[in-house]
Structure 1
């Protein structure tokens, strides 16, 4: 094969590969409802949805809670969750309406998880809370020795979460955000710590 024929073959091959790639992209888009080329509809935050997390334990619990909380807040404020996320992610002072909506949205998320059975019992969260706590050895050992049945009868996960949400300084937290990327991560971190503190405070009263 001479050089001219080789170049022609290479050009044809590139065209075929390009067409195959374009066809693949269009196929995926059509399969996901993009065949009409209409913009995707913004999801209604007032429609209850199931949320999942790739994390376990308290971190996974709070991740789901924050997602539900933002949905609930957006519904109360009459905006999309995307618009609310962009707004809150800008940082700065937030209105009383936004603070109240987010706090109540988080509480509604707790109630939703309680209703659908996705809240773990308090006993499943104890070890993780103790691992990151600075307790004296005697108190920690005493708490770890408590039977799960005793913990679960005395502590309800939804009560622990509600108390943690009430203790959150949401105004200060939202004021110090620098981007939308920080919104979920910062709220999740704050809720996680508040849950641990609330859980440990309640556990101390059992020993």
Structure 2
């Protein structure tokens, strides 16, 4: 019994030593903590959603990177700053708005902005229009909608109309920040689309 009591700690020490030897042999001795990603570097941003929700989700993810890049901080540091207690600075609000505009430009350049006609039906579904006007708008051919409305212009106007300072107030977590901005951008895009499509009839 006594021999077993002495042997078990010795066996454990030998096993731990063996594991450490293997780890060091494969580079485990040079530990470096993970560094935050460079917000200024382009990265693949995808969404599992569809329609306006997918558009605004991707827009916000890119925008946060671009805002952090403008401020010279990591994405994580930017989120902590704007999702924490206290007032948001002019620089933070301006960086986020500029980041949203940068995201629109990036998506336009890489061909991931959908045509306005792809978003109109979804926007009308949540709009409070009389049945006749809604039917007339839905009857417009996609070519007419796309000729009259450019998605980047609709998005840029919606972003300009956002009250980002109010939007960023009373946040207490990063997920809440992204969800709130996505919802507000989505609503603004919907309102802008409906208003501008109404102008076509």
Give the CA deviation at 1:34: 8.0
2:149 is the counterpart of 1:155: yes
2:170 is the counterpart of 1:137: no
Instruction: Count matched residues.
Output: 180
2:163 is the counterpart of 1:193: no
Partner of 2:47 in structure 1?
53
Structure 2 runs not aligned, ≥5 long: 1-14
Residues 148 and 93 of structure 1, relative CA distance in 2, 3 Å threshold:
same
Partner of 2:67 in structure 1?
73
Cα shift readout 1:55-86 (whole Å, capped 9, x = no counterpart): 00000000000011011110111100000011
Structure 1 runs not aligned, ≥5 long: 1-18
Give the CA deviation at 1:35: 8.4
Q: Distance in 1 between matches of 2:60 and 2:151?
A: 16
Structure 2 length as normaliser, TM-score?
0.84
Greater shift, 90-99 or 122-131, is seen at 90-99
4+ long deviations beyond 2 Å: 33-37
Partner of 1:84 in structure 2?
78
Give the CA deviation at 1:37: 3.1
Structure 1 length as normaliser, TM-score?
0.82
